[in-house]
Amino acid sequence: MSMQMTRFVVGYAKILDPELTAPQYLILQILSRAGQQNCSDLAEMLEVSLPAVTNLANKLAAKGLIERVIPESDRRNVLLCITEAGQEVEERMVQKYKEMTRELWEDFSEEETDLLLRAFEKMLVQFDPNEHAIC
Question: CA-to-CA distance for 37 and 120, rounded, in angstroms?
Answer: 29
pLDDT by position in tens, the chain (length 135): 455 555 555 555 555 667 788 888 889 999 999 999 999 999 998 888 999 999 999 999 999 999 999 888 887 888 999 999 999 999 988 888 788 778 877 888 889 888 988 888 888 777 665 554 443
Would you state the pLDDT for residue 25? Answer: 87
Domain for residue 113, yes or no? no
- Is 81 strand, coil or helix? strand
Would you state the pLDDT for residue 16? Answer: 62
Would you state the pLDDT for residue 3? Answer: 56
- Is 121 strand, coil or helix? helix
Domain for residue 12, yes or no? yes
Would you state the pLDDT for residue 12? Answer: 58
- What's at 99, amino acid-wise? E
Domain for residue 124, yes or no? no
Domain for residue 116, yes or no? no
Domain for residue 49, yes or no? yes
Domain for residue 88, yes or no? yes
User: Number of folded domains in the chain?
Assistant: 1
Per-position DSSP letters for 10-34, written without gaps between them: HTTHHHH-TTS-HHHHHHHHHHHHH
Would you state the pLDDT for residue 130? Answer: 57
Write the CB contacts of 53 (distance below 8 Å, at least 6 apart in sequence): 27, 39, 42, 43, 46
Domain for residue 19, yes or no? yes
- CATH code of the domain in which 20 resides: 1.10.10.10
Would you state the pLDDT for residue 129? Answer: 54
- What's at 34, amino acid-wise? A
Domain for residue 53, yes or no? yes
Residue range of the domain that includes 18: 3-99
